[in-house]
Each structure stands twice: as C-alpha cells, then as structure tokens.
Chains A and B, each alone.
Chain A
Amino acid sequence: QKEVEQNSGPLSVPEGAIASLNCTYSDRGSQSFFWYRQYSGKSPELIMSIYSNGDKEDGRFTAQLNKASQYVSLLIRDSQPSDSATYLCAVNWSSYKLIFGSGTRLLVRP
C-alpha cells in the first residue's frame, strides 16, 4: 500500500515566522514530489515541485527532499496570514499518477 503521510495539524505560527510542513512517503521508487496549497472551498493550487535531493527555493517557499529518508518538507519564510490554508503533499507513484497526503492545515496568527 503506497502511502503519503502528513500531520493534519493545525500548525499555528505567528506572522513573520517560518512555517515547516513535513511529509513522508512509502514508495522508494517515487521520482517527483509536489506541494499544493488549498484554501477552504477552493481547488488545490500547485506551489512547488521537486525532483532531486536537496533544496529548491522559490520566493518565500523552500522545498526540501531527502530520498534516503523518504521525506519531503516545505518551508514558508516570513509567514503571512494569507498563507493560512491546507497544504497537500503529493508524490508520483505510477506513471503519471499522484498519491496525495491528507494535508496539513496551517494557521498564521497576525
């Protein structure tokens, strides 16, 4: 059974802090990893993709991948109240299909 695990949260951080979201996956053969942001009542929006071990930065977002530990994380620097959302981790598991975690709810306190 291929699985993607995330802490459901909520993760509460003050405005301006770094939010750290974590995800583990079970399939060692996974090649690509994605973070989606989903606001309440809206559809998932792709914010980061990562394919190689290490860090990938895009603005205030940094994705980190460690394939040996089967671990992928998302750091959000200078968190803003507008970052409050559910963050979904997704991992490719077969051909073009993705398997999603249940998401971590992030609350950024003003």
Chain B
Amino acid sequence: DAEITQSPRHKITETGRQVTLACHQTWNHNNMFWYRQDLGHGLRLIHYSYGVHDTNKGEVSDGYSVSRSNTEDLPLTLESAASSQTSVYFCASSEPSMGAGYNEQFFGPGTRLTVL
C-alpha cells in the first residue's frame, strides 16, 4: 500500500546542531509539504514543493530548508537548531491532477523533535 513515512520518529538534539528530518512517500504525488504543530498554533506550513527541483517557503520558513531531488523524498533540514524549533513535524503530500481546488493532503506519522 502507498504511504508516507517519516524518520526518525523521535529526535533529541542540542542547540546549534544541524538536523535533517526525512519524509518519503510512495503515492507518487507531486506535491509535498512540511508542517510544524505546536500547542495554540495548530499546523503551520514551513516549506512545500510542487515537483522535483521546486521548493517554496511557507509561513514559518526561517531556520529551515528543503530540497527535492526526486518525487518520493522531501527532507527538511534545520541549519542550526534552536529551542524554539522544538515541535512535532508532519510531512504531507497531495496529487494535483484534479486541479488546484481539490487538494486532499495525506499526512505522515510525524517526528517529535526536542532541541535542548
């Protein structure tokens, strides 16, 4: 069955370290998204991609980067981890074939990141 996986599921790191969170989907979806979820803020969009070599900033992109070298993967990198980046991170994907108004996004299981 097609799915989205994220790794690691839990990560503890120290301030200033570079961290990469992996997202892999087997839906063959062109669209992929990274969100963070914090109490009181809901899901906030970090970065997104509409295809290979396409990346775009979301509403909370500072301190994060992504790259898209193939359809299946969109890794999220925290260049220099900060305590404010302690959060739960979700990857999602969607298929644009039905048009921009139809955008059912499907989520991975999430990564809980703690920055000490």
**Which A residues form the contact surface with B (CB < 8 A)?**
31-32, 34, 36, 42-46, 49, 51, 88, 90, 92, 95-103
A-B pair number, CB within 8 angstroms: 57
Q: How far is the CA of A98 from the CA of B107 in the complex (A)?
A: 13
**Which B residues form the contact surface with A (CB < 8 A)?**
31, 33, 40-43, 45, 48, 50, 58, 90, 94, 96, 100-110
User: Can you list 23 A-B pairs, Cβ within 8 angstroms, ordered by A?
Assistant: A31-B100, A34-B105, A36-B107, A43-B107, A43-B108, A43-B109, A44-B43, A45-B107, A46-B104, A49-B102, A49-B104, A51-B101, A92-B103, A96-B50, A96-B96, A96-B100, A97-B33, A97-B103, A98-B105, A99-B45, A100-B42, A100-B43, A102-B42
Neighbouring A residues of B102 by C-beta, 8 Å:
32, 49, 51
